[in-house]
Structure formats: C-alpha cells, structure tokens
Amino acid sequence: MKRYLVTLAAGVALSYAVLGQATNSQVPSGRDVVKPEVYASMEPAGRGGSFQIAVVMNIRQGFHVNAREKSEEYLIATDLKAQFPSGFSGGEVVYPKGQLETFTFSKKPLNVYQGKVILRLPVNALATAPLGEQHIRLKLRYQACSTEFCLLPTTLPLDAAVSITASASTAKPAHAEIFAKQ
C-alpha cells in the first residue's frame, strides 16, 4: 500500500510538472485564483463579548474549489484553521453548503464552491483579552480547479485584526453586508 501511495504521489507530481511546462504562462497559481478577504463582525469588540470572523473567498470565474463536505474521498476539502492568542476562544467554523456540479472529468457531480463564498468563525473575547488591536492568525487551505485541470493545493496565511475594548457594551457591529442575518 505504501509503495502504491508513493507511486501515485510521483505520478501526480509528474502530471503537475508536465502541465506546468506545457502551459506555464496560461496556468495561474492557486493564490491567483482565490482572493480571500477577512472581516470582523464587531469593531471594536468588547471583553466578555462574542463576535464572528468571516473569510470571504472570491473565486475567479471559470474555477471552483472543493466544498468542505467532499463528494469523493480523494478530493481536498476547503479548510479554515484559527490560532487564538491568549484571551480568546473560538467555536467551529461554519462552512456554507456547496453546489453539486458536473464536470467532464468526473462521472459523478462534485460538491464545490464557486464565485463568492463566506466562511464564518465564532470568537469569544474573554474577560482577560488584551485591550487594543489584536490579531488572530488563520490558515485557509483549498484546491482550485477549472473544468480542465486542478492546481496544487494552496494554504494561505491570513490575519484577522480586531480592536478590543474594556466592555462588551462598547462593541459596535461592523460590515453588515457580510454579517447580515442568515
């Protein structure tokens, strides 16, 4: 089994190398296909309060990324991870439902994201959260594909900056266009 996986990995790497040499100027990188933006639902947010972080994935037309809920075991699902500094805790990322789309390379419809997709992360600013601007480090992982080829999986480091005040009563909603009631 191990030998099979090594052979499979080598074959995939060779396919990407050949694709890259053949159409290097025409094939974008995964970083060029998805342009993420990060927003906080409160600005400022207050100690003892909760807020959300949204990562808006703007996916280039003609491409898609695999949804969080994969339709095939071999697919690489979209994944968002957070590293919370002292004074913060968070819940599970809320991923949107994907769309089932049929592509020429798959007999079965695949669950994908296209266009604009919003991932949401609930965050708690504890009573011990430091005051002032704080940063929550994020890692967004995805694999972008067109109808003809898939790019190598991409992991992007992101930064969610939020200002923290002494009290949740001083928190103010921000970015209503992103955090409107769902």
Average pLDDT, the chain: 87
Check residue 29 and give its pLDDT: 87
What is the amino acid identity at position 132? Answer: G
CA dihedral 116, 121, 127, 131 (to 10 degrees): -40
SS3 170: helix
The answer, yes or no, to whether residue 84 has pLDDT greater than 60, is yes
The 10s digit of each residue's pLDDT in 17-64 is: 334 434 455 788 889 999 999 999 999 999 999 999 999 999 999 999
Residue of 65, 71, 69, 70 lying closest to 36 (CA atoms): 65
> In order of start, what are the domains of the chain with their CATH numbers?
26-179 (2.60.40.1250)
In angstroms, the CA 124 to CA 90 distance is 6
pTM, entire model: 0.83
